[in-house]
Structure 1
Amino acid sequence: MSAPIKGNGRTLTVLSWNFERNGGNDAAKRRRAHETLVSLNPHLVLRQEMWGADANGNAIMYELEDVVGMRGWLGPRSCTAVFADPRVFRALREWPDTGPMWVLPPTALTMRYAPAGTDATPLVVASYHLNYASPTNRLAESEWLSTWADKKWTAPGGESVSMPALLGGDNNAYPDPDLDCDLALPELAEINDRPHRLHRSYVGPDGSRQMDTRPDQALRTAGLEDVARYWATARGGSKAAVSRTVNACQSHGPDSRIDRIYVTTDLLDAVTGVDVIEVPLDLSDHHIVRLSVDGDCLSDILHRRP
């Protein structure tokens, strides 16, 4: 079995991005978007809205693999995808059975961090997109998403160990408002589009409508942490970690941070930075969330045994 690579000072870059409608039918725009990703030197990319990538025998998916120079996995119904540098992350299995509630199914994989060697515990990686219109369905989807934080692996010694998880995507809901430096929740009346008021709120215990933070609460209850929240507080990072990922607009209300990356708490020690890369609105309606990870620390975490 291979030994872990130590002392190389590797910094890993993980990106999560909802690229609007995968560029539609505009091949030049699609290439420009993925060249933007390449410019950030990623090792792992979690993509949402992969519409049309399965057409003509997955031709667009193969096109995008070529642009980003990474291996790609396209999820059910071309809703999401994962791209990985095969020198760094290698797939050990796919999880095509995503549960019964998904409107836009995630792409979920068990992946080995190659520099850690084959004795290391793998991790679960998923790209997801929670439902746009139904807060009820969105909560159920987030509950199913938590099942990827509950996967086991049989270690070389025969013991069953829990795999860490890294999940990123478009939540279509807000982070819990108890973080002082985070963006404030919108007021329902600030959302001019009446259907969108429904889409982003739910009826609370007192019968009034509350802005929807329940997916964030569900994931954090399940032992997953919003890395931006973590970096902005526990590690003394800057407020840039909790920057907007969607711009304010007349119909949908103020700036919001609906795109997030979550990890199981065992991975938090490896986090070395979180920020948001803004892209022009003519490229996409969402910005890119960037997570930086210490590769040596990740390797150490994956070699721990309970």
Structure 2
Amino acid sequence: MKSYGEPVVRLMTINLEVDGGPDVAGRVPERWRVAHEEILAPRRPDAIFRQEATYSDQNGNRRLHAAEQALGGMRGWLSPNGSGRNPTALFIRPSAFTAVQQYQHLRVWRTPPTNITAWLEGAPGRDIVMVSWHMAFNSPHGREREAEELSALADKMKQGKHFIGGGDCNEYPVPVGETVPPIDWTSPEITDRVHIVHRTTKGTDGSRVSCTALDETLHGCGLHDPARYAYHTLGQTRALDATAGHAAQGQGGGRRIDRLYLDPWLITAVLEVTVVDTTGVSDHHALEVVLSRAKAIEALHRRVEPLPPMALTG
């Protein structure tokens, strides 16, 4: 695990495909074990934003609690199960964060998010809205509505709260400043017709336009993408690498689907962003964002200047 010469806060988001699969002879499957014991636990994350916790709500949340142990004593929460039948989850390390509230979101969402309010150690009383999401895979308009629900959480910044959220966005970032080129939906290599319906809307000229509603909405609220910050401000050339879609056929190749977002104060604490290879374990790579703990505490007390909103046009 890389050292930064100062105390840090490690944030990770990971979509573990179908929770690694069902139990095998009463034991967790090998992909689940590798994800938790060999990929996540060695990095000592302080918060994990999980998607596809498919089996974690079964047998009295047995797998959720197994994850808490495998991750070295982290504390976990699950979302309610929605029509997607694939709960989200959120874990925090008690030595880094203290949970003070949990909220359930039962309407609008195909897959409800996991949402808590927590305090960072060293900044008690400074509320952080933390939310793990898995946007609807099948509906551009559904994702627009879900993005609007997330904007209601971002609105709490006006009450002095802060924001850390992320997950599987199931659509694309605004292409400005990205290193992964946009999909050419007219290409003969794009053969998955259903995927086109799921990931595009029809333009005024009848062409297919990539869905970017979530990214537009959250940046419009003043939130920031730490991967963009790491690339454009810190010079980290791999921060904008694709996280999913590498193996999918006829869908346009690898895309930056999995993202985290921070409020305009906490974004100034970012030290590094890494796409963590999970080949053979999941169809999504994990994303790690490392914050300076000292700078994060200053940010939570709003003793730093907020980063201005990102320009969404080139």
Normalised to the residue count of structure 1, the TM-score between the two structures is 0.89
Alignment partners' CA distance in 2, 1:248 and 1:72: 30
Structure 1 regions of 5+ residues with no counterpart? 1-7, 153-159
Equivalent residue for 1:102?
109
Give the counterpart letter for 2:107 in structure 1: P
Matched residue SS, 2:76: strand
Q: How many residues align?
A: 286
Code of the residue aligned with 2:8 in structure 1: it is T
Displacement of 1:164 after TM fit?
A: 1.0
The structure 2 residue matched to 1:183, chosen from 180, 194, 197, is 180
Q: Give 1:13-32 correspondences, 5 Å limit.
A: 13-26=10-23, 27=28, 28-32=30-34
- Note the C-alpha offset of 1:147: 1.4
Identity %: 36
Which runs of at least 4 in structure 1 moved beyond 3 Å after TM superposition? none
Give the Cα separation in 2 of the matches to 1:212 and 1:288. Answer: 22
Answer yes or no: is the 8 Å Cα contact 2:167–2:259 preserved in 1: yes
User: Corresponding residue for 1:133?
Assistant: 138
Shift of 1:80: 0.7
Match of 1:71 in 2: 75
The aligned counterpart of 1:239 is 237
TM superposition shift of 1:81: 0.7
Provide closer, same or farther for how the CA distance between residues 99 and 237 of structure 1 changes in structure 2, counting only shifts above 3 A.
farther
Q: Is the 8 A contact 2:271 2:290 kept in 1?
A: yes
How many angstroms does 1:99 deviate by? Answer: 5.8
- Aligned residue type for 1:288: A
1:113 to 120, 131, 148: 120
CA contact (8 A) 2:236 2:272 kept: no
Please tell me the root mean square deviation across aligned C-alpha atoms, in Å: 1.8
3-state SS in 2 of match to 1:115: coil
- Is the partner of 1:241 in helix, strand or coil? coil
1:3 corresponding residue in structure 2: none
- Provide closer, same or farther for how the CA distance between residues 99 and 223 of structure 1 changes in structure 2, counting only shifts above 3 A: farther
Q: What displacement does 1:174 show?
A: 0.6
Q: Displacement, 1:206?
A: 3.3
Cα separation, 2, equivalents of 1:184 and 1:169: 21
Letter in 2 for 1:205: T
Paired with 1:242 and 1:279, the residues of 2 have a C-alpha distance of: 16
**Aligned AA for 1:232?**
Y
**2:87 paired with 1:89:** no
Aligned partner of 1:37 among 40, 58, 68: 40
**Cα contact 1:16–1:288 (8 A) shared by 2:** yes
Contact preservation (8 Å) 1:121, 1:303: yes
What is the TM-score when the length of structure 2 is the normalising length?
Answer: 0.87
Does the residue aligned with 1:128 lie in a helix, a strand or coil?
Answer: strand
CA distance in 2, matches of 1:176, 1:255: 15
* CA distance in structure 2 between the aligned counterparts of 1:102 and 1:202, rounded to whole angstroms: 20
The Cα of 1:175 is off from its aligned counterpart by 0.6
Which of 135, 147, 152 pairs up with 1:147?
152
Normalized per residue, which structure has more helix? Answer: 1
Aligned mates of 1:165, 1:218 — CA distance in 2: 14
Q: Over residues 12-34 of structure 1, what are the superposed CA-to-partner deviations in whole Å (9 max), with x where a residue is unaligned? A: 11000000000111413211111
| Counterpart amino acid of residue 218 in structure 2 | L
- Cα offset, 1:9, TM superposition: 2.8
SS in 1 for 2:60: helix
Q: Secondary structure at the match of 1:53?
A: coil
